[in-house]
Every structure is written in structure tokens, then in C-alpha cells.
Amino acid sequence: MLMVKADIIYTVSGDPINNGMMLVDDRGKIEDIGVDLTVSENCEVLDISDKVIIPGLIDAHTHVGMWGDGEGRDSYDGNEYLRPITGEVRAIDGVNPMQVSFEGAREGGITTVQILPGSGNPIGGLGFACKTWGKVIDDMIIKDPTGLKGAMGENPKRTHGKGFGHTPISRMGVASMIRDYFEQAKEYGKKKNLANQKGEIFDLDLNLESGWMALERKIPFRIHAHRHDDILTAVRICEEFGLDYSIEHCTDGHLIGDHLGSKKITAMVGPGLSPSTKVETANFTDANPALLAEKGVNVCLITDHPFLNCRYFLTYGAVAHKYGFPFDETLRAMTLNPAKAIGIEERVGSLERGKDADFVVLSGKPFKYKSVIESTFIEGKQVWKRDII
Amino acid sequence: MLTIINANLITISQGNIENGKVVINNGKIIDLGADIIVPKESKVYDAKGRYVTPGLIDAHTHVGIHESGTGWEGSDGNESADPLTPFCSVRDGINMKDPAFESFRKSGITSVGILPGSTNILGGTGLALKCKDVVVDEAIIKDPVGMKVALGENPKKHYGEKRSPISRMANASMLRESLLKARQYLNKLELKNDVKRDPLSVALLPVIKKEIPLIIHCHRQDDIATAIRICKEFDVSYRLEHVTEGHMILELIKSENVHCCVGPCLQYGSKVENRNRDFKTAVVFEREGVSFCLTTDHPVVDGRNLMLTASIATQWGVSDEKAFESVTLAAAKHMGVAERVGSLEIGKDGDLVVWSGHPLEFTSFVDMTLIEGEVVYDRGIN
């Protein structure tokens, strides 16, 4: 048992608790949280009464462990990009949990990540969610799969049309391939169901199996879309097929905020602090999270690591807050919102009884430059501590 | 004439002055202090107690030559058909209407170094300019500030599959041979008039004559050591860029008294050569007294995050004072333009930023940016 005493505990699910206490059981779950809790005799005490605690941050769109940070091309495993449709590949098979980016995540106060395939392919493969500490990825999983990755716009065009000279060459081509994929998956699913009903042998197709999972709404379709028209095409296709979905990046979302707000879509907004390196990101603004949330969009902040180094996730939150994203909403967009969007909120995303004791110790209130991340805990265990250089 | 009154001045070179005034006339700071008299003929701007810093400076950017939101059409930073192009000048590739310039003004950045990219071993000359909305020739502070050199992965990655350089050895030998040729060319010029013109050597003459430094892209400690080795061999001036692993060969850096432009620290380890990218470099450099400025390498990290980079540097152990200096005066010194910009001092350019709160605070806005006394950005807060 571990009793943590802090100056303020931001639970996210409820009001901040001043002089807060949190009791962590031996399985790493929060047994109790509040004020004036009783400390039993054999309970270890972590007295950080001058510190602030927030829930472990959740980054819902990353490529942690699969982008070859500091390792060069030999460790690039995020895109199986020779073919445009690769529903059968799984992010989990390309992730190296001992890669430096996982430590970067812990340094940044991130305790849970969703890891998705890259955006080179219109249909990119399956993503999953895991904790950021461990040696064996299978032991770190919270949920697998958590979504099917898709991509609109420049990346699939550049990878395939420009890179290999095959379809998709245009935005029309990208959309038509995604449509065709789901049509095939629909046919496949019907045949599979029929075969199951009749008790007949049925050969699985792993590529279409992923699409069928999305069509059955067991997993959402998570579509990379920056430009406003790409976002609208993505929404159009998802509505045609009745999919659950999230818009990944949503860079131009602020230009069509009313439309997206009316649909209450979920947007994974980021990478934050980004340069406009592509034509499709020309309208990037730091105010996007605030502008989208104002219109009723369900916003999660993302680093898209490595595109914003996940070490600086909390600073992204500070900048979103600077441009009008209210304090509470900003913190929620880095914790509870992504937990819900990934479907893992029963375990993580806020500090509540029964949830995992994943938390970050700050020297002061979040989003201030004098408030530094001092240590990160996953399931009650310290997984990173700041050393003085 | 303009006087800013009631300002919390962060001068960089002379400490902080509370309740200070700055008088700007004809684009220059002509007076500053707490107890100075406001000239009768001067317009007055009341800062209402807000912080005022010098305009920020990023000594290593590609603004205007790697344009925001335009793709390959606006990408003009590398003449990557040949690894040796010292005769190129960034001045001929800069688009002053790159939206990034507007974003820089909003972020308090008033001066930038613009350098060719790092694909070529000899990439051409870089310059220093003001982020003014004018044609490039009217914005120049100094051109050239130096000759861009790249060591390490970039040249060998771009050229290596088909031609030299394939290895780090050739990066070095091609640089050496170019400098040797230029030196021999200079020797011949001094002896006779009818020397056949060699464009490469002509472009390198200012380097050989120590009129401009080599500005050398180097991340890994061995690339840094190679850079220093070659510069010493040829007795040329130099500055080092990125210097990601500089803290790992501290004694060499210290003994050579090198000036370093460190960064972009906010990036991840995108290559093997920058796998040790961290704010640790800056923290150790401050502690050990190595001169350095911080850079975003825009657009690698967007330049608007320059002050944010300084703020985050303090979270890893850089002092507030050094953080301010590293994005102002140190950057000016790095480019050799400190007599004009980088601090609030009498005689320097009237490049100032008024901040809504403490400038290092993540949530502070730039309320107003002035270049040479002219308001180039105003958030509309009085």
C-alpha cells in the first residue's frame, strides 16, 4: 500500500483536491482518494505535500517505438507502404518497447499511448493502446486493437502516386480506394456470417477482417485528414458506411468548425506546435483546439510523436490553453477525453477509485514554465524521475 | 521619435530595469533607464508595467527559403545537384512573403540568420536580416554572415548512392580539397594577374582571408571534432551549428573557445547523428561557460516556438538569464551583428517586444513588436 500526499490533486473527473491524499493498493489501483484519509500502519507514505499531481497523460495518436528515433531508417516500421491497402498489418508488431521514445513519453508525463500505423496508406492497419513502461509489449497492452488507421490527402498521394507511380495518385483515388475497401469488407462480412450460420468452413482474410470489425463498430476508423476538404471526405465516407470514427490531426477543422461541431465528432488535434511543412497544413493554428472545442467538437490533444516530441506534450497543452482552450478542458483533452475515445476509461484517464494509479508529479500547477515534471508513476510505481543534469 | 514608458525592461546586457523608459529616434535607441527625461517632441507609449525585451533572434533558420505551406515549389534551400556550391547565396532564394515571416513578427522575432540547407558540403553563403515586410535587399543586416558547411549524414545520404561523398571521410576530404584549392588560388592571384577564374575558389576567398567564418552543420561528436580539425588546419574562422553532442567532448569545445548554435532541441532524434538531442547540451554549456545561442532551425521546429524553446530549456536546468540571452544577444554575437541588435542599449536598433506577461511564461503573448522603432505587429492591447 502506498499513500500519496500532495498539495493539489487534479482528478480531472471531479474538482481538484487541496491537501489531497491518494491510497494505492498493491495491484497499483487507486483504493481511495480524498482528504484526511487514514494511513494504516504498514502503509508506505509518499509525502509530496508541496507538489501537484495530475493523472498520467494519454496521447491518443503516436508512433512511439516504431519511428526509429535516433536509430535511422533500419528502425522505421510505421508504414507498410508498398501497397496502399494494408488492413492486415498491426502496429503492435512494429513497436520496440525499449526504444528511447518510450522514455521520452515517461519524461513527458505520458503513461498511456495509442500507437497507430503511419499515414502512407489509405488503409494503414490496426492500432492499439499500451502503457509506456515495460519490456515486453504484450505485457504493456491495455487494449488491442483500438482502431483501424486510414489516411486522406497528401501522404498517400505522395507515397504511392509520386513515389511508386501507382494508384492512388489523386485525392479522388484515395477516397475511391477506401470506399472500395469497405465495400469488399461488407461483402466479406456477409459471407462470413452466412458461413457461420450454416456451419460451413470459411477462410479468413486478415485485410478485410479489419474492415469488417470497423463496419461492425467493434473498432473506430481513425482517419488522418488535415485539409478541410479531406476532413469532409473522411466524414462523408464514414457516414456512408455507418462507421465510428475519429478525425486524426483535423488541422483545418477551425475553418469548418460549425459543421464538425454539429456532428459532435471526435478530433485528435495535433501535432501541436507544428510547422506548416506541407500544403495541407498551411492553415495550422495553435488556436485550433480552442476553436474546435467551442463549436462542440470532442477534442483530444496529440503529439503524433515523433512529429512533436512527446516529451513536450504538456507544453503543447500550455500553448493550447494560451490560445483560449479553458484550463480544465485542456487537461481533460490530455487525459480523460483520449481515454474515452480509445475506450479504456474504466482503467485510465482520471484519478478515481478503482482506476490505475497512473500519475505525474509536478512542482506546481500545470501549464506554467516553473512547473516541471518531477516524476511519473504507472500503477503506483515510479517509472521516471528527474535528475539534476 | 517614440518613448516607451512604464516598462519592465529586460535589457540582457545591463540587467533588468523596473519602471524603465526607452527612447527610439530614427530607428535607434537613443536613451534608456528609469530616471531619464522623456523628450518633449516624442510620442509616448505606456507599457503599463509590462515586460519589454529586445527583439528575439534566431541565428539558424531557413525562413523564406523553405516556405510554409507550399511544398516543393517553395523549397529553395539546397542546390542539391552538386555537393560543392559555395557560390550560391541564400539571398537569391528568399521569399519575404513567406507567411512564416508574419508569424515570426507575431512571436517577437525581429532578426534571423538564414542559411542554405545541409545537403551540400559547401552550401553557399548565409545572411542576417530583419523580419520586415520589405524586399530582401532592404531587410539585410549583414550579407554574408558566413559560408555554410555540412558534415555527417546529410551530404552522404543525399549523394552517397551514386557519387561522392559516400562516407564521412569524403565529406572531410572534399571540404579540405576545396579549401586547399582556394588557398592555392589566392596564392596565384597574389603572384600574377592572368589566373584562370575558378568559381569555387573565388567563392571561398573570403573564408581563406578570414573575412567570413565557416558555419558548420555538425551533430555527432566526431563530426564536431572533424570540423574543428579542418578549420585549424586551414586557419579559418568558424562557428558550429547544432552541436548536438558537444557536451560529450566538452574539453575540446572549451579549449577552442568555439561559439555554438544549439538546437533544434524540441525535435526528436530524427537521425542517428542526433540521437542524443536534448537540452542537456545547453545546460552543460552554460555550466561550463561555453558560448551558445538556441535555435529552432525553422521549419524543423517552427520559429514561432523560439521563446518556448528558451522556456523549456529552463525546465531542464538553463537559468532564466541565460535562456533570455540565448535567443537574443548570444544569437547576435553568433552572427557578428551584436553592434546593432541583441540587447537594449543606447546606439542599438530599436527592435523591441512588449509582452503580456513574463516572457518565459508559456501563456504570455507578444503584445507588440517593433523593428527600428516601427510597429510591425500589434495585438491590439493598450
Same domain, A305 and A353: no
CATH number at residue A298: 3.20.20.140
pLDDT band at A389 (very low <50, low <70, confident <90, very high): low
Q: At what angle do helices B168-191 and B221-234 cross, to 10 degrees?
A: 10
Backbone φ, ψ for residue A338 (5° rounding) = -65, -35
- State what percent of residues in chain A have pLDDT above 70: 100
Task: Enumerate residues 6+ apart whose C-beta is below 8 A from A34.
Answer: A17, A20, A21
This model of the complex carries an ipTM of 0.94
Residue B230, classed as helix, strand or coil, is: helix
Distance of alpha carbon B164 from alpha carbon B158, whole angstroms: 10
Residue A166, classed as helix, strand or coil, is: coil
**CB A276 to CB B312 under 8 A?**
no
pLDDT band at A46 (very low <50, low <70, confident <90, very high): very high
Same domain, A311 and A368: no
A47, three cell numbers:
509525502
Q: According to the model, what pLDDT value does residue B287 have?
A: 97
Nearest CB to B272; choose among A71, A279, A308: A71
Residue A389 DSSP one-character state: -
- Single-letter amino acid, residue B43: K
The 10s digit of each residue's pLDDT in A204-258 is: 999 999 999 999 999 999 999 999 999 999 999 999 999 999 999 999 999 999 9
**CB A312 to CB B312 under 8 A?**
yes
Residue closest to A117 by CA, chosen among A143, A151, A144, A154: A151
Q: What is the DSSP string of A119-162?
A: SSSSEEEEEEEEES--SSHHHHEEEEEEEEEEE-SHHHHIIIII
Nearest CB to B280; choose among A279, A305, A389: A389
Contact list, B266 vs chain A (CB under 8 Å): 273, 308-309, 312
Regions in chain B scoring below 70 on pLDDT: none
**CB A306 to CB B70 under 8 A?**
no
pLDDT band at A15 (very low <50, low <70, confident <90, very high): very high
A interface with B, Cβ–Cβ < 8 A, is 67, 69-72, 100-101, 104, 273-279, 281-284, 305-306, 308-309, 312, 315, 318-319, 321-322, 367-369, 372, 388-389
Task: List the single residue in A with minimal CA-CA distance to B356.
Answer: A322
The 10s digit of each residue's pLDDT in A23-35 is: 999 999 999 999 9
**CB A372 to CB B315 under 8 A?**
yes
**CB B69 to CB A279 under 8 A?**
yes
pLDDT band at A349 (very low <50, low <70, confident <90, very high): very high
Is residue A131 scored above 70 in pLDDT? yes
B interface with A, Cβ–Cβ < 8 A, is 68-71, 99-100, 266-272, 274-277, 280, 283-284, 298-302, 305, 308, 311-312, 314-317, 360-365
Nearest CB to B69; choose among A276, A309, A372: A276
Nearest CB to A279; choose among B70, B268, B277: B70
How much is the CA Rg of chain A, to the nearest whole Å? 21
Same domain, A47 and A68: no
Q: According to the model, what pLDDT value does residue B251 have?
A: 97
Is residue A280 scored above 70 in pLDDT? yes
A-B contacts (CB, under 8 Å) = 95
Distance of alpha carbon A303 from alpha carbon A58, whole angstroms: 10
Same domain, A157 and A220: yes
Same domain, A219 and A353: no
Distance of alpha carbon B341 from alpha carbon B176, whole angstroms: 34
Same domain, A275 and A326: yes
Same domain, A25 and A150: no
Q: Are A245 and A262 in contact (CB under 8 A)?
A: no
Same domain, A171 and A51: no
Q: What is the average pLDDT across A255-264?
A: 98
Closest chain B C-alpha to A366 CA, distance in angstroms:
11
Which of A369, A373, A384 to probe by mutation at the B interface, max B CB count within 10 Å?
A369
Contact list, B69 vs chain A (CB under 8 Å): 276, 278-279, 281-284
Structural domains of chain B sorted by starting position, each given as residue range(s) with its CATH number in brackets: 1-54+343-382 (2.30.40.10), 56-341 (3.20.20.140)
Q: According to the model, what pLDDT value does residue B246 have?
A: 97
Contact list, B268 vs chain A (CB under 8 Å): 67, 69-70, 101, 104, 305-306, 309
**CB A69 to CB B283 under 8 A?**
no
Residue B260 DSSP one-character state: E
Same domain, A154 and A285: yes
Bridge partner list, B112: B58, B129
Same domain, A2 and A96: no
Same domain, A368 and A248: no
> Is residue B111 classed exposed, middle or buried when 0-12, 13-18 and 19+ CB atoms within 10 A define those classes?
buried
pLDDT band at A366 (very low <50, low <70, confident <90, very high): very high
Contact list, B311 vs chain A (CB under 8 Å): 315, 369
CATH number at residue A364: 2.30.40.10
Total count of domains within chain A: 2
Same domain, A278 and A386: no
Could you tell me the residue range of the domain that residue A163 belongs to? Answer: 57-348
Backbone φ, ψ for residue A286 (5° rounding) = -65, -15
